[in-house]
Amino acid sequence: MAADAAEKLEKVSTSRGFSAKGAFDLLGSLALILLLSPVLILISLSVLLTMGRPIFFRQLRTGLHGKPFYILKYRTMAEPDGPSGAHYRVSDEQRVTSFGRLLRLSSLDELPQLFNVLVGQMSLVGPRPQVLEFNRHYNAFQRRRHEVKPGITGWAQINGRNAIDWDRKFELDVWYVDNRSLFLDLKILFLTPFRLFAIHQNEGPYRCSYRTFNGTRSEVEKSSANVPATPREEASPETSWSMLRGKSHSAG
């Protein structure tokens, strides 16, 4: 019944010349920001007290059609001790604070991306935005993930997340691109909270591996996704406008 309602809404939106997904993202992100405002304020204060300023971490990521944008996250890393430049000799893992680790494991560090959705840079559901360095390693098949807006959560996030390798993630991303619908988005959003505390996925072997991605296992480029609808066993997901522009702060 929910699927029929979602399908009807999509047909109506298409006939009227606007996107049901776009309207859903706008209204959904605004509602979630208002609903979660006490949580957002509490986490912001906790980051300020445990790590100081800045509260938010901004980094360039690849968005729709390959266009870069600044993603927002709560900061999870402490500033390195020592003279200027010493942080280049300190690993990211050593800089993650206890509170920052908690934010990462629960995915609460991603909540500021609701503002990215609100301004149209991201969607509630879609392939996760990756660092710009990935772009030169994608093959034609993998680049198809940029045919839709990146999301806060997505098909790969509820089907393995950091417990699966990059090849599998990108296959799931492209499957989503080819099979996306409002009903599928609703399903992903419904399942996401149940994945938030799946520690074996949030702490999986690929959690910090973006630096090691140098291309797919096979250089054979695929022309279309061929991923089954039920891939593998399902497991794990400044508040001012000026924050979304400018240069990145220190890593977090």
pLDDT digits (tens, 9 = 90+) for 59-84: 999 999 999 999 999 999 887 665 55
In-domain check, residue 35: yes
Give the Cβ contact number of residue 14 at 10 Å.
11
- Asked if residues 126 and 175 have their Cβ atoms less than 8 Å apart, the reply is no
In-domain check, residue 197: yes
Both tokens assigned to 243: 């924050």
CA angle (165 as vertex; 125, 167 as ends), nearest 5: 80
In-domain check, residue 199: yes
In-domain check, residue 185: yes
pTM: predicted TM-score of the whole model, two decimal places: 0.74
Residue of higher predicted confidence among 12 and 144: 144
- Tell me the per-residue pLDDT of 167-226, one tens digit each, with 9 for 90 and over: 999 999 999 999 999 999 999 999 998 877 665 555 555 454 444 566 665 544 444 445
- Tell me the per-residue pLDDT of 13-47, one tens digit each, with 9 for 90 and over: 444 435 889 999 999 999 999 999 999 999 999 99
C-alpha neighbours within 13 Å on the C-beta side of residue 116 = 32
What's the pLDDT at 154? 95
In-domain check, residue 245: no
Q: Whole domain around residue 93: which residue ranges? A: 19-237
Check pLDDT > 90 for residue 3.
no
In-domain check, residue 104: yes
Question: Which helix or strand (DSSP H or E) is residue 69 part of?
Answer: strand 68-74
State the total domains in the chain: 1
Q: For a pLDDT cut of 70, what percent of the chain falls above it?
A: 65
